[in-house]
Chains A and B, each alone.
Chain A
Amino acid sequence: MKKANVVQSLVSIAVVVVLLTVLNGFLSSFQARIFNLCGIYVILALSMNLINGFVGLFSLGHAGFMAVGAYTTAMLTMSKEMKEMNFFLEPIAPWLLNVQLPFPIALIVGGLMASLAAFIIGAPVLRLNDDYLAIATLGFSEIIRVIFTNTQSLTNGALGLKGLPYIGIANKSSEAYWWIWGIVIITVVFMVVLIKSTYGRAFKAIREDEVAAEAMGINLFKHKMMAFVIGAFFAGIGGSLLGHLMGTIDPLLFRYLLTFNIVLIVVLGGIGSITGSVISAIVVTIAMEVLRILDGTIKIGSLVINGIPGTRMVVFSVLLMVVILFYQRGLMGTKEFSWSWFKKLPFITKKAKIS
């Protein structure tokens, strides 16, 4: 039984890699960029789903964790010359100037710093529940942003950082694709293994009924902290990748709106479903780009509609409301993709009967 599961998982990964290779062949560079963004949102959605979906903590601190990850990695990967160019208003702190690490290490350090931030604020904040937790984490995320705006010699403040190197080790833009989607695969595998472990079961128990979970001997605080720190790690990684994909970051990028984009993805996909988050992240990210036509001027025959910038966000807000009102379980509910789905298809069952 277990062996079969491992084989199935390996087959799934192989299929995904083949698909990615095929896609890589015919995506234009613009399309590839959007697709990379999809990958980053998959990572972000999964990290939020772990905290909000599986453990049931209503945390809205994602933008904060992403900011910590993005800035840490950026400061570690940028060259000395680039840093000097960026910090023209106030010189950079001397100890930061000469630090430069290879991208993979800087990325992990970025994730770890986000985890550290989660660990520090987790201690007081995770004792809160529901809306109080949401307010506290949202506050944390805004505090991080304000701090980053005002620590001029560390983060270049409101001017932001420009000229972040490309994702990867060879400093080529084409490398980003496999880095991002490689990390997506690692993240998905990690989340699946975690959720299927006894820890995952305890997470779900806490989501279902805290009192009962505690009565079973599950240490609530420890498990919540664990999910929070792991989620923040992947949020930090996602933030770093986002920063390096765009090549520039500033504190305004990490407003609470960014958190709500991820909330939107998680809710649409189904709170507590890894499959749902993956599908939803890809669909929503592509839709965000495609629906840009709504922001511009639309011509239908002789009819000319002058677009108002921001219309697509209205569409998404309405979509979110519709989902919340009529389809709370989202795309997948708490269900997951599994190979046994195919067994239910009629033509395969017939074959199975013959053999």
Chain B
Amino acid sequence: MSTTLSDTPTLRAGAFGNATCLKCRECGATRELGPHYACYECFGPLEIGYEFGEVTREQIEAGPANIWRYKALLPVPDDIESSPNLEPGFTRLLDARNLAAELGLTRLWVKDDSTNPTNSFKDRVVACALSAAREFGSKVFACPSTGNLANAVAAAGARAGIRTVVFIPSNLETPKQVNSAIFTENLVAVDGTYDDVNKLASEIAGEDPGWAFVNVNVRPFYAEGSKTLGYEIAEQLGWRLPDQVVIPVASGSQLTKVHKAFRELVELGLVEDKPVRIFGAQAQGCNPVATAFKDGVDAIRPVKPDTIAKSLAIGNPADGIYVLDIARSTGGAVEEVDDDQIRDAIVLLARTEGIFTETAGGTTVAVLKKLTETGQLDPELETVVINTGHGLKTLDAVSGAVGPRATIAPTYDAFTAAGIA
């Protein structure tokens, strides 16, 4: 059939580095790089195709201490560091000995993405989307979001000097609202779930070519940013892959991209090939992928989310099917935990490692615990768990669980009577 290609802007040479095309993940059809996300042949998701030249460890190590050290592996121009952005990434990989001991694991690392500029991993993907929006000459930088993404888009847009509009479900936690509204005058609360907000964004993106919706029409570029989590884990382990990784699943994009990153590193000869078991973590109140995994089916049945883990509350995760493929083919699993287990895990991580995670990280740590207790994860193998966001964004989730142990008069007698000494 004929296709309309006139909506693809003229690009400067090298606008997307080593990226060469958009390729359909389903049918393999290719088309030129542009603000497109669905295959014109089959509606399947488009991914970035590359022609990598030689990429060495030394080149990467000589780069900046942020995601642009991996620019040769991303759809960004070679001069990416010179354009204003939040310079996210290269977050710490912490040897989590106390949590490991608590859970009975031999070796556990926490990849702590709560220390990104807007305190979630979203700064990584947004930085790549911002580059794409800039190259496409977009007038508006926008997103539908459950919160963390809105924070990241609003902040990145402010720094880049591009107009931002961010759409959120109206029931979102107040801190996440404020964390976006502080950066943009265009925070739009939509009466509905994230899936409703997403639908609205898809409709707007289809009508207004000047709008770059980071996770809709520039999604292929955006999603690539999550690969940097995988690159960093491997580099920070001394250029090798871990045995097991536990990753939260909302859309499922992050999990698929970490897997892709590991495969790319192997193919480029930057790490030795080895089996890596990949596990997904969901909340019981939004568990479409975990349910499909347990039922042994390939189709994801959408759900209406009801969980404190709002950043994971995507009821219709279209990358879910790829998460299933990866979990099954690597010997991993997709597990779920309830809201109480999520709260307990937030406290556990805080008290064992000094890391305050949001509900998504609570979900991931709780799933790590469950996988260990049920024997699905091998406690003798080296494991990495990804913390994607900061607990200050979801204070309400645990404000009833922790607080003052005692309220006492300012006297020594009162102190000793409280039994804390």
A and B part of one assembly: no
